Amino acid sequence: MPYRWPEDTVFTRLELAVEEPWCRTCGGARTICDHRHHHGFTLHGPVHLVGKLAHCPARACPAGTQTISPEAETTITMPWWVLGWDVVGWLGHRRFAQPWSVQQLRAALADTYHIPLSADAIERYSHRYQQMRAARHRDPQQLAAAYAQVDPVILAIDGLQPEKGPETLYVVRALERKRVWFAEALLSSATTEVQQLLGQARTWAERLGKPVRLWMSDKQDAFVRGIAAEFPGVPHRYGANHFLRDVAKPVWEADSRAKVRMRRTIRGLRTIEREVLAAQRVPAPTLPPTAAPGPSVGLAEEEGRDVGLDYCAATRGILHDEQGGPLPPPG
């Protein structure tokens, strides 16, 4: 859906001509044959881009049917985009590096830059930012520059399941530069499928001209076999997380058994809570002023009930605590 600009929007007009005024085929002068209009936001305000499209007017020239666009247009924004590259960069960086919520971005764009955008549009442009970033990360020149000082590389592979089901997203990362090299979703975790990804990693390393010093992954069979096949002689280490989890397992099991025993011994929390809550609901009897023992007794009783409820909650928390990793175990 095209963006609806308010009537009173003030645009800065930018006229863009083709960079080469001469025809590449016949050398004749190109002439302007059409204008393309594009309205968009930049961090410096709304712009109206006027692209002067050109062609070669020579009848006999084979390039005569081609229409040439000014390249400068795509350095400001992309066709059909309402945001300039500067806004997309500003937005994407805050969305993913900080990270800001969509609502925060929306408010900041409106307040600071007077760019009113819907939450949907911010999501859409965040997604485009991610695509551009991924493309840049895969660009061979960018990659070569990033790894100029690194030699050799340490690689890691892991599979994640974002949703329940057979699909697993495999991610290959290089640890020194903390870069994701590539990610592929596979429907099967069979050795042959995973080995293809490892082959792809080998191609990347070869293209960079970097030897692989070490592989890191968990001890999944497909990784163990695939790495041995694609990277013979390269050491393969397994992640400490799985190791620690295995080491912590007996402790975790002992803790779990202890909690079962404790739950058997400690009973009646619910009954205590119910009694306290029932007592709270009954209003304190109003006594004649002469017989009043003073307000402190009622207050102390109320505090006592609160403490009782807190004790119940804390005890229940201890009995049901399952949170924590191998290093801070539960219980």
Q: Among 27-35, 101-109, 156-164, 252-260, which window interacts with Zn ion (CB under 5 A)? A: 27-35
Interface residue with Zn ion, options 3, 5, 17, 26 (CB under 5 A): 26
Residue owning tokens 């057979």: 166
61 binds Zn ion (CB under 5 A): yes
CB of 66 to Zn ion, least distance (A): 9
How many residues bind Zn ion, per CB under 5 A?
A: 8
What is the nearest approach in angstroms of Zn ion to the Cβ of residue 32? 15
One residue of 63, 72, 150, 319 binding Zn ion per CB under 5 A? 63
**Quick one: tokens of 272?**
């205590």
CB atoms within 10 A of CB 150: 14
Please list the alpha-helical segments (H only) found in the chain: 72-76, 85-97, 102-113, 119-138, 140-146, 191-208, 221-230, 240-265, 269-281, 296-319
Judged by CB, which is closer to Zn ion: 15, or 20? 20
Please state the closest distance from residue 29 (CB atom) to Zn ion, in A: 9
Contacts of 188 (CB under 8 A, 6+ apart): 166
In a 3-state reduction of DSSP, which class is residue 89?
Answer: helix
Backbone angles phi, psi at 39, to 5 degrees: -110, 135
Torsional class of 294: left (φ above 0), alpha (ψ -120 to 50), beta (otherwise): left
Cβ proximity of 242 and 258 under 8 Å? no
Part in contact with Zn ion (CB under 5 A); list of ranges 24-32, 43-51, 182-190, 243-251: 24-32
Q: Could you say which of 23, 87, 157, 216 contacts Zn ion (CB under 5 A)? A: 23
Place of tokens 């003073």: 294
Q: Does 31 bind Zn ion (CB under 5 A)?
A: no
Binding of Zn ion at residue 25 (CB under 5 A)? yes
Instruction: Please give the residues from 66 up to 95 whose contact with Zn ion meets the rule CB under 5 A.
Output: none
Report the residue number, 23 or 194, with the smaller CB distance to Zn ion.
Answer: 23
Q: Which is nearer to Zn ion, 24 or 213 (CB)?
A: 24
Binding to Zn ion by residue 121, rule CB under 5 A?
Answer: no
Residue found by looking up tokens 């001509």 in the block: 17
Q: By CB neighbour count within 10 A (0-12 exposed, 13-18 middle, 19+ buried), where does 66 fall?
A: middle
Closest to Zn ion by CB, 26 vs 276, is 26
Residues that bind Zn ion (CB under 5 A): 23, 25-26, 28, 56, 58, 61, 63
